[in-house]
Amino acid sequence: MASVTIGVLHPGEMGSGVGASARVAGARVLWVSEGRGTATRQRADADGLEDVGTLARLTREAQVILSVCPPASAVDVAKAVAAQRFGGIYVDGNAIAPATTKKVGDIVAAGGAVFVDGGIVGPAPRKAGVTRLYLSGSGAADVASMLNGGLLQAIPLDGPIGAASALKMAYAGWNKTQQALLMAVRAYAIREGVDEALLQEWALSQPELAKRSENAVAGTARKAWRFVGEMDELTAAFAAAGVPEHFHQAGAEVYRRLADYKDTPAAPSVGEVAKTLAR
């Protein structure tokens, strides 16, 4: 394992955590500072990732590339790597629909890479047992063996390219969408002047919902800009499967309206989010 060199594109909160886990498992982990901001550098430095400066150098030195980026950037990252004629293993770990995954796979395969589909469930891996990377495709078991041993658990699926992404879509289809719905419900109740009555009824009949709605605001508002693309991918995935997709269109709109909370020093209150949503 010590001889495996992995490149992470690009070490945001999740990508940096995945890279740190791979280091614990014994890998040399590279990243590219070109075009990245100060926050990315600080995360990568804190997690001991090795800056190689340019994508050209990373594609020469890495045997495996992990793409962990906002969903809307997945295709562009794949195109940039393919343009370098990368011939190793390319793992897309982004929250994208199976059709988008297959497009990414075709792009990197045309550049010479072996493609493995991935889907991450859970937060950035900072403790054991909470984050899993599901993998599918012919190289899934090999990639899992490279990554296991750190805080991230890599699980190969018995399925083709698209299976790991489909699992991620199914999981996010509930997780992200129910959080958006809870925030929208609180916004509606506040706008109509019945929020206190709603909370009292929840306390009687569904006592977990008040706290879950508060957690949805605290946990997603400042990350909402990242979830718009994920909800768009969910919409496409469900529509392609012939399953009603309009839940996720509405979820995308909820997160789109909250996108301005990006980089705010503190999470907004439920009341502030309600004002932003009920416009």
What is the tens place of the pLDDT at every residue in 81-91? 999 999 999 99
Over residues 246-262, the mean pLDDT reads: 98
Give me the pLDDT at residue 1, please: 44
Contacts of 272 (CB under 8 A, 6+ apart): none
Given the candidates 3.40.50.970, 3.40.50.150, 3.40.50.720, 1.10.760.10, the CATH classification of the domain at 5-159 is: 3.40.50.720
Residue ranges, CATH 1.10.1040.10, the chain: 166-277
H or E segment to which residue 89 belongs: strand 89-92
Give me the pLDDT at residue 68, please: 98
CA separation for the pair 238, 228 (Å, rounded): 16
What is 204-255 written as a DSSP string? HH-TTHHHHHHHHHHHHGGGHHHHHHHHHHHHHHHHHTTS--HHHHHHHHHH
Length, in residues, of the chain: 279
Task: Find out whether 42 and 66 touch, Cβ atoms under 8 Å.
Answer: no
What is the tens place of the pLDDT at every residue in 17-74? 999 999 999 999 999 999 999 999 999 999 999 999 999 999 999 999 999 999 999 9
Average pLDDT taken over every residue of the chain: 97
Contacts of 79 (CB under 8 A, 6+ apart): 107
Number of helices followed by number of strands (H, E) in the chain: 12, 8
Give me the pLDDT at residue 2, please: 47
What is the tens place of the pLDDT at every residue in 121-159? 999 999 999 999 999 999 999 999 999 999 999 999 999
Given the candidates 1.10.1040.10, 1.25.40.80, 3.40.50.920, 1.20.1050.10, the CATH classification of the domain at 166-277 is: 1.10.1040.10
Whole-prediction pTM value?
0.95
Residue ranges, CATH 3.40.50.720, the chain: 5-159
